[in-house]
Amino acid sequence: MTSSVLERADRAPLTTDELAARIARDIPAGSYVNLGIGQPTRIAEHLSPDAGIVLHTENGMLGMGPAATGDDIDADLTNAGKVPVTELPGAAYFHHADSFAMMRGGHLDVCVLGAFQVSVQG
């Protein structure tokens, strides 16, 4: 029996932070990227600001910035998981139905889904 490429018997499974960093490394510079609810939102913490990656949230924001803290928190600016975020210059807002149409219509380069967003049939 051969072992899977993903199997890592020599170490513990990846932590959620290691997984987010690993996925972030796979996103090409200049991509438009949707980060789904849950674990995918952590990927934003591992993207280089110099990569020119534009983040999209399922709840209707294109141009999401880093997580908001302190005085930067605005209850109206959240990612798909309802975590406060900032907006980058040129950010745009739209209805969540349009947001999903952007994803399903192939208008984004990468879409990272959370575990509960994936169909049992793939």
Token pair of 106 as six digits? 């192939």
Copy the structure tokens of residue 36: 């789904």
Cα 81 to Cα 68: distance, rounded to the nearest angstrom: 13
- Amino acid at site 21: A
Q: Among 55, 57, 98, 53, which residue's Cα sits nearest to residue 76?
A: 57
Catalytic residue among 7, 18, 58, 87: 58
Question: Any catalytic annotation for residue 45?
Answer: no
For the annotated catalytic residues, the residue numbers are 58
